[in-house]
Amino acid sequence: MLPQSIDDWKLKDFLPESELVLPEHQVDRPRFPAIDAHNHLGGIVRQGAEAVSRLLDLMDSLGLRAMVNLDAGYGSAVSLEECLRLLKEPYPERFILFHTLNWKRVEEGEGFGERMAADLREAVARGAQGVKIHKSLGLRIRDPQGRLLMPDDERLAPIFAAAGELGIPVLYHVADPRAFFRPLDGRNERLEQLARHPDWHFYGGDFPQFEVLMEAQARLVRRHPNTTFISAHLCSYVENLRWVSDLLDACPNLNVDLSARYEELGRQPYTARRFFLRHADRILFGADFEPEAWHYRVLFRFLETDDEYFPYAIGPRPQKGRWRIYGIFLPDDVLRKVYAENAARLIPGVR
């Protein structure tokens, strides 16, 4: 029973169910075989060969041709060797490994950029096909003088130059959703999510402002025109696709992945669809969630159907916010590029 006055209701008790009667399409497999260009398989590698073979069964059932593992090295607790032994060597066509930079190098003092570039060259010689940069760059990593290290810091330039020479892409994550940089009050659209994950709140204190990180990202990509960049999560600025679109127009070496952002795209379906049609050659399919069938299927449904107002997650209180999403019914030529062709073009050794 609810209290008599609406003023006494609790948010947790308000769980409205939609009365809309609409067409629903279940999309079990993508229309074209897909490459998941953004995932973290450290946990699966740690579990061993049986977990890997279960993952392959799931990939087969979901029409996933290959998966990029961004956890191959420092910070993910699985080494490149383990990833090579359990993923790449037994299944060379199914897994793609990205080297994770070792930020402990910064503590070793001057010349850290050169040393990290040398690490990258060695990792590529051993089988890495790209490099991943975690969002801690720009938020938490400090230089030997104790100052926050920004993504466009000149001392890191050797890493990006090396990636350009090696012909491998840099997949980087800068910042996080816009609301994570806002005060934590009743106007914050991610309030419920941030209440569960206070460590994702980057407002005030030592944290840079969101705009500062976006400007650093733009300078980084402009400064290395011969390096291919894949900006995770649509430059972390899916809330402003105009901004992302302008940066893509200005920087032919920039690409984006849609991982962990279909929820945001799906609540702005007209703008999102126009964005995908305009930048069809520059967007990579990716998950960045635990490999689970239901989750991939929502993503396929979002990309392929014109279904309206459907839940993006299971459960009455979806993690990112209380909204539903709309499909963007992409045409076949765009789906082919987004699902696999763009990843195959940008990542060496991928067919």
Nearest residue to 74 via CA among 133, 162, 145, 137: 133
* Calpha distance 59→291 (Å, rounded): 9
Q: Which residue has the tokens 């990202």?
A: 217
Quote the least distance from Cβ 117 to Zn ion, whole Å: 23
Would you say how long the chain is, in residues?
A: 351
Quote the least distance from Cβ 70 to Zn ion, whole Å: 6
Question: Rg for the chain (alpha carbons), in Å?
Answer: 21
| Measured CA angle at 23 (ends 19, 27), to 5 deg | 120
Residues with Cβ within 8 Å of residue 235, at least 6 apart in sequence: 174, 214, 217, 243, 244, 247, 256
Closest to Zn ion by CB, 288 or 304 = 288
Are 291 and 39 contacting, i.e. CB atoms less than 8 angstroms apart? yes
In the 8-state DSSP scheme, what is residue 145? Answer: T
Quote the least distance from Cβ 306 to Zn ion, whole Å: 29
Are 314 and 291 contacting, i.e. CB atoms less than 8 angstroms apart? no
Nearest residue to 279 via CA among 330, 326, 349, 226: 330
Quote the least distance from Cβ 38 to Zn ion, whole Å: 6
Quote the least distance from Cβ 26 to Zn ion, whole Å: 27
* Calpha distance 202→171 (Å, rounded): 22
Q: Interface residues for Zn ion in 269-288 (CB under 5 A)? A: 288
Closest to Zn ion by CB, 263 or 288 = 288
Quote the least distance from Cβ 315 to Zn ion, whole Å: 22
Are 159 and 117 contacting, i.e. CB atoms less than 8 angstroms apart? yes
Are 56 and 14 contacting, i.e. CB atoms less than 8 angstroms apart? no
Q: Which residue has the tokens 């491998």?
A: 168
Closest to Zn ion by CB, 263 or 307 = 263
* Calpha distance 68→40 (Å, rounded): 8
Closest to Zn ion by CB, 27 or 137 = 137
Closest to Zn ion by CB, 233 or 267 = 233
Quote the least distance from Cβ 95 to Zn ion, whole Å: 16
Quote the least distance from Cβ 277 to Zn ion, whole Å: 26
Residue nearest Zn ion (C-beta atom): 288
Q: How far is CA 191 from CA 125, 136, 194, 208, in A?
A: 45, 22, 5, 20
Closest to Zn ion by CB, 36 or 288 = 288
Quote the least distance from Cβ 108 to Zn ion, whole Å: 26
Closest to Zn ion by CB, 231 or 305 = 231
* Residue 71 makes contact with Zn ion by CB under 5 A: no
Closest to Zn ion by CB, 193 or 305 = 193
Stretch 287-306: interaction string toward Zn ion, x if CB under 5 A:
-x------------------
Enclosing H/E stretch for 51: helix 49-61
Closest to Zn ion by CB, 287 or 334 = 287
Enclosing H/E stretch for 65: strand 64-73
- Kindly list the residues in this chain that would bind Zn ion in the complex (CB under 5 A): 288
